[in-house]
Structure 1
Amino acid sequence: MERMEHEHTADKLSAHYLGGKDFGPWMTAGTIFASLFSGYTVIGVPNEAYNTGWAALRWMSTIWAIVWGYFGTGIRLRKASNIRNHQSPVDFISDRFQSQFLRYTIVILQVVPAVIYLAAQVAAIKGTFNSMFNLSPDSAYPVVVIMAIILIFEWVGGLSSVALTDCVQAVVMIFTFISVPLVIMSKFYGWKDIDPYEYPIPEYYQTPSRETQWDFWQFSFINFSFFTLPHLMQRTYAAADLSSLKTGYAVMAVANWFTMLTGVFIGTVGVMILDGAKVTSPFTSIMEAMMDEGGFAKGIGIIAVTASLAAIMSTADSLVIAISQLVTVEIVYPIRPHTTPKGIAWVGRAVSLVSATIALLIGIFWKQGVADMGAIQFPISMQAVPAFIIGLYSWNEQTDVHPWSIASAAVASTVYVLAVYFTYMKRAYEPMPINAGITGFALQIAFIAFVETTRRLFGLSKRSKTHVDETIGLTRENDEDVKPDSLSFPDRPNWDVPKLARFGEHSLSPKLIWKSMEGVNEPLANPWWALLMFFAISMMTPLVPEHQPPIDPATGSFYSFSPPAVVNGIPWWAFEIIIKSIIPFVILMVAVKNMPNTFAIDADKIEKEGIDVDLVELTLREKNRRTSYDERNTLLYRRRSTISKTMEDVKLAADLAKVQEDEKVRDSRRRMSALVMAKTFEGENLEEILEETI
């Protein structure tokens, strides 16, 4: 346990919730893979393909959107974390907009979808386990026991323990995704072996309806919001370096081919295996049919069912610890700011128990299934996207947006999402193909534009570039009350300004964010690259005449004179989706390849020109110095102050030297460079450098 929680650090919260921020490439890749490809992948995709046919290929397009969002925003979020020591998934919003209203709006938009997502894992565990052991579908005690095991892992080892189990589970899942199709093709059928005239559900070979095509396009983009889910943001902060994240991004992209495509294969071929029978869990029934073959097929079937449970459990434990961090750090810790980090970590364990209990109750009593939970979870997550995109990519103060505009728009769009889902989608007999998340996102953007235009035209709020009056409480003698010397939008009441001392001495402005990314290749900052990805994913939607070729109602099969066009046994339009999927894959892989392995530091430039001290990255030791809710990072403060003083000394010495730098100037420049790059000088070495420089 001591090794797991990095007891050598003072910050027990970082150790418990972020694994000490030192996950290497394969640990990062393994835990991201296992957290992303969950019960929705292993069970949900085959089930959907069994029930809807090749239209389930929409999961391939939506994975490209997930990688696009997670990779695109992750680089900048990672850099902001390196210079501001962000730990909680909401820290960036708190630091960037400095608004309690917006902060807690985003907390809700992260906690609620995470709880629903966790409940979906509970429902998936219950359905899979009970079906596997021929238990009553309503039997709850197995899933209660499994969730208790998950809680124990989280309590004992925190994210480090979760990540280790994720890596083991990832290996099992990868083996399953590769081996199951091979066994099915050897024992039953492959796509090439299917005759459309003998297929139990010939409608799957018809071109999809207009409603299905519209739903396909919307679903392709709804999961762009995955990067806002707290358990994935934790991995962004927990990685040891940029190279580790780079490996994780590449694995996410490659995995789409042997996870989602495999899921669609299992479901569509499973229609032939089960002869199109109506079953509660097609995936489980297909695996049972495979195990009935005995021998090697039975062994692979057992491993596949085990892998399905592993996939669900890996996502469930990640969600438990993510929800625990959000509630503990963003709600409980501010109320009890002087509680020791070790004490607050125990509070976090209690929060984990409560959140797991709530998810258990929802998962056990929710009768509509896993996919139905996704229909509300993903749209709610989408409403958190504008806050992050605006915060990360506003160019300057003129393009920045007031936090209350974003918060009020997010509240309005979330109410819209819930209203559409519960009053229309759930009650209408044949609802229109409206994705509440996509339309809610569009509504939120329009609302923000309207409020901001009104605010600026009628002068409802006046932005100040000067320091905020001390009545807001920006300068106090007590370190824990010290806040940055300016606010982005100071025209707000005191209650809306959170405690910000732990982030730094100055505000996290758009200018500072863009300055921190100078020289870094980040494709999402390029509007043309983002537009290219948008069109590449959109192109995967099958825009075709619906219900072609027609089916003879007398025979229930296709007319002999109008057979369906197939390629390698699958409908031509489905084959086209798979081929078009290569385009976003190549775009993403090229972008990941061109991504830097580190946030490089130009030592020569620093020695000659100096550096903005607010851009100096924290060392691992500085990141692990937090011992109360909002204390100032004294070690970092000393180093940045020393760098600032050294730059002043260098300038003064250079002015005195006039024409030629003397040895004193050169020594000062070297000391400044060493201080900036102090990530190579941990522990006492850094203290010695500080002492020598002072």
Structure 2
Amino acid sequence: MELAFSGTSGILIMLFYGVIMLLIGVVTFMKNKKVHSSLEEYYLGGRGLGTMVLFFTFFATQYSGNTVIGYSAEAYRVGYANLVTVPFFIMIILVYLVFAPRMYRLSKKHNIVTPVDWLEMKFKSKAVSILAAILMLYALGNFLLEQLIAIGQGVAGLTGGTVPYQAGVIFFIVIMIIYGWLGGMRSVAYTDTMQGIALLVGVFMLLIGTIIYFGGLPAAGDYIRTYSPENLGVPEGGGLVRWTNFLILVGIGAAVYPNAIQRIFSAKNERALKRSLTQMAWMPFLTAGVVFVIGILSYTAFPNLNVEESEQIVGMMASAIANENIIFYIAMVLLFGGIIAAIVSTADSVLLTFSSIISKDIYGRYINPDATDNKKILVGKIIGVIAVGFLLMIAWNPPGTLYQIFVLKLEILVQVAPALILGLYWERSHARSVFAGMLIGALVAAVFTFASLTPLGIFSGVWGLIINLMVYVCGSLIFGKAPSVITEKNVLEGKNTTQPIR
């Protein structure tokens, strides 16, 4: 009996998950027809996400196509050095816990909808707000491009090429836009819950099947030792510097994803937020750790794959295991849908946040301040679809591996972190110094990235962050006034929140 994903079976799986996503959007819209009349309702789900839904929507934001597909492929290519993926996901949770509770309290008190809202309230600086919005939009566009590519790679790999890369991308993008338009954040959060359960079960079944049919880590270790010994050792010297770079770049950069911050704003209460983040602390081991092991075990199943072929290693493993046993076939069906739904769910949250920054922070704040919430939402939707169309043209012939694309966006996004996080705690923060640091840091990161410069082995984004912080801190010490008019106590009590900080 032929159990591998192919032909009709692959198409049916795609249709099944696509229909579920559409139904979620329709049901959400029917239950809350006022979703399009309020920015808070559409972009934050009415600030009503409980612990479980909040956990899964954080999970979907953190672990998407680049985790399951991209990181397994990277582990296959570089070996044990890719174990760094586990600690840097732990680092993300630690950074969340530093700023998320305090930022949540501010958002609840002052009806903050986007991260730029917080910066505007804190610094009262048009320059800071616009620059931060531009950097966030760049990162979100990059992140969305990554998900579009991951959708195509996932469909092509898991169906053995029966469903073409381009067809998979178009199908799921249309589905995503429809249910996102219908239900906003609530649709996104509910699809996140569905995909999270399917993904976790499927990934663990893939790991079990890989061990049963292709051997465990000892067998993979023997193969690596024989044919690729350079991938077996622990990083030393430059490798350790590289690990440190990733801990800083990913740990801080991924924690300030605008779509992740909007999940903080969407929490029902502070208790739900803290509980969801506490539960997320286990996920680096149960997701990134498992994905890493699958990538290593793939050595024995599919040796000598080139870079392009290795990008589809998860799909190849799933198809091979599905062909062995009916139970694993069913599990791989679940995994297939889980992976694709995970990628789509991450893409829809990115698109939603992209639209919110366009509609509220650009259009609503500077172009048409008198526009109704309904009109702002419509403008955000239209610009979002135009952006998807543009990115789709790029994704048609992807410019690099998922891993390379992932790193590029963080180099720029991490430059927003000092303003977002340090601004929460340091009362002396000076608006012009914040702007100068963010701008110079972003320019340094961009120039170093495109010129492939890594002085002392330090990544371009980390160099940008170091210079960014130096300008921010030194400028604030010299020009800032202490104490600032906005402290957490004053903000929460509603005092002195309209006077600008200079």
**Normalised by the shorter chain, which TM-score bucket?**
0.7 to 0.9
* Matched-pair identity in %: 22
Which secondary structure does the structure 1 equivalent of 2:188 belong to? helix
Q: Kindly report which structure 2 residues correspond to 1:609-620, keeping only aligned pairs within 5 A, or say none.
A: 612=493, 614=495
| Alignment counterpart, residue 313 of structure 1, candidates 337, 344, 349 | 344
Match of 2:231 in 1: 204
**1:184 CA displacement:** 1.5
| Alignment counterpart, residue 375 of structure 1, candidates 395, 407, 419 | 407
Kept in 1: contact 2:48–2:266 (CA 8 A): yes
Letter in 1 for 2:180: E
Letter in 1 for 2:284: N
Instruction: Return the alpha-carbon distance in structure 1 between the equivalents of residues 68 and 27 of structure 2.
Output: 34
Query: Structure 1 residues 22, 414: CA separation in 2 closer, same or farther (over 3 Å shift)?
Result: same
**1:330 CA displacement:** 0.7
Kept in 2: contact 1:417–1:436 (CA 8 A): yes
Q: Kindly report which structure 2 residues correspond to 1:138-537, keeping only aligned pairs within 5 A, or say none.
A: 139-194=165-220, 196=222, 199-223=226-250, 224-278=252-306, 279-280=309-310, 281-334=312-365, 335-394=367-426, 396=427, 400-425=428-453, 433-452=457-476, 455=479, 509-511=485-487, 513-514=488-489
**1:61 CA displacement:** 1.1
Kept in 1: contact 2:87–2:284 (CA 8 A): no
Match of 1:113 in 2: 139
Instruction: Return the alpha-carbon distance in structure 2 between the equivalents of residues 236 and 356 of structure 1.
Output: 25
Kept in 2: contact 1:392–1:510 (CA 8 A): no
Instruction: Return the alpha-carbon distance in structure 2 between the equivalents of residues 337 and 277 of structure 1.
Output: 55
Instruction: Return the alpha-carbon distance in structure 1 between the equivalents of residues 261 and 320 of structure 2.
Output: 39
Kept in 1: contact 2:28–2:182 (CA 8 A): no
Query: Structure 1 residues 289, 328: CA separation in 2 closer, same or farther (over 3 Å shift)?
Result: same
Instruction: Return the alpha-carbon distance in structure 2 between the equivalents of residues 245 and 216 of structure 1.
Output: 29
Query: Structure 1 residues 433, 613: CA separation in 2 closer, same or farther (over 3 Å shift)?
Result: closer
Match of 1:101 in 2: 127
Instruction: Return the alpha-carbon distance in structure 1 between the equivalents of residues 33 and 326 of structure 2.
Output: 48
**1:450 CA displacement:** 4.1
TM-score (norm: length of structure 2): 0.86
Residue 34 in 1 paired to residue 60 in 2? yes
Query: Structure 1 residues 311, 449: CA separation in 2 closer, same or farther (over 3 Å shift)?
Result: same
Instruction: Return the alpha-carbon distance in structure 2 between the equivalents of residues 10 and 349 of structure 1.
Output: 11
**1:6 CA displacement:** 4.2
**1:363 CA displacement:** 2.4
Instruction: Return the alpha-carbon distance in structure 2 between the equivalents of residues 138 and 3 of structure 1.
Output: 31
**1:194 CA displacement:** 4.5
Match of 1:570 in 2: none
Q: Kindly report which structure 2 residues correspond to 1:624-639, keeping only aligned pairs within 5 A, or say none.
A: none
Letter in 1 for 2:240: Q
TM-score (norm: length of structure 1): 0.63
Letter in 1 for 2:118: F
**1:202 CA displacement:** 2.7
Kept in 2: contact 1:391–1:510 (CA 8 A): no
Gaps of 5+ in 1: 457-462, 466-487, 489-508, 518-611, 617-629, 631-694
Instruction: Return the alpha-carbon distance in structure 2 between the equivalents of residues 113 and 8 of structure 1.
Output: 30
**1:346 CA displacement:** 1.7
Query: Structure 1 residues 219, 464: CA separation in 2 closer, same or farther (over 3 Å shift)?
Result: closer
Query: Structure 1 residues 343, 304: CA separation in 2 closer, same or farther (over 3 Å shift)?
Result: same
Instruction: Return the alpha-carbon distance in structure 2 between the equivalents of residues 163 and 52 of structure 1.
Output: 34
Q: Kindly report which structure 2 residues correspond to 1:520-599, keeping only aligned pairs within 5 A, or say none.
A: none
Query: Structure 1 residues 451, 129: CA separation in 2 closer, same or farther (over 3 Å shift)?
Result: same
Which secondary structure does the structure 2 equivalent of 1:384 belong to? helix
**1:211 CA displacement:** 2.3
Letter in 2 for 1:443: I
Any idea what the Cα deviations from partners look like across 1:238-279, whole Å, max 9, x if unmatched? Answer: 111112112220222111111011011101011111134333
Instruction: Return the alpha-carbon distance in structure 2 between the equivalents of residues 332 and 167 of structure 1.
Output: 31
**1:362 CA displacement:** 2.9
| Alignment counterpart, residue 49 of structure 2, candidates 19, 23, 27 | 23
Instruction: Return the alpha-carbon distance in structure 2 between the equivalents of residues 138 and 326 of structure 1.
Output: 33
Query: Structure 1 residues 217, 195: CA separation in 2 closer, same or farther (over 3 Å shift)?
Result: closer
Query: Structure 1 residues 10, 366: CA separation in 2 closer, same or farther (over 3 Å shift)?
Result: closer
Kept in 1: contact 2:411–2:462 (CA 8 A): yes
Kept in 2: contact 1:69–1:225 (CA 8 A): no
RMSD: 2.7
Any idea what the Cα deviations from partners look like across 1:346-387, whole Å, max 9, x if unmatched? Answer: 222212212222322232233212111112111111100110
Kept in 2: contact 1:83–1:614 (CA 8 A): no
More displaced 10-residue stretch of structure 1: 288-297 or 172-181:
288-297
**1:98 CA displacement:** 0.5
Instruction: Return the alpha-carbon distance in structure 2 between the equivalents of residues 404 and 268 of structure 1.
Output: 48
Which secondary structure does the structure 1 equivalent of 2:282 belong to? helix
Letter in 1 for 2:457: P
Instruction: Return the alpha-carbon distance in structure 2 between the equivalents of residues 264 and 444 of structure 1.
Output: 33
Of structures 1 and 2, the one with the larger relative CO (CA 8 A, separation 6+) is: 2
Q: Kindly name which structure, 1 or 2, has the bigger radius of gyration based on alpha carbons.
A: 1
Match of 2:86 in 1: 60
Match of 2:39 in 1: 13
Letter in 2 for 1:143: V
The structure carrying a bigger helix percent of its residues is 2
Instruction: Return the alpha-carbon distance in structure 2 between the equivalents of residues 464 and 265 of structure 1.
Output: 51
Any idea what the Cα deviations from partners look like across 1:206-264, whole Å, max 9, x if unmatched? Answer: 23343222111110121222232111111111111112112220222111111011011
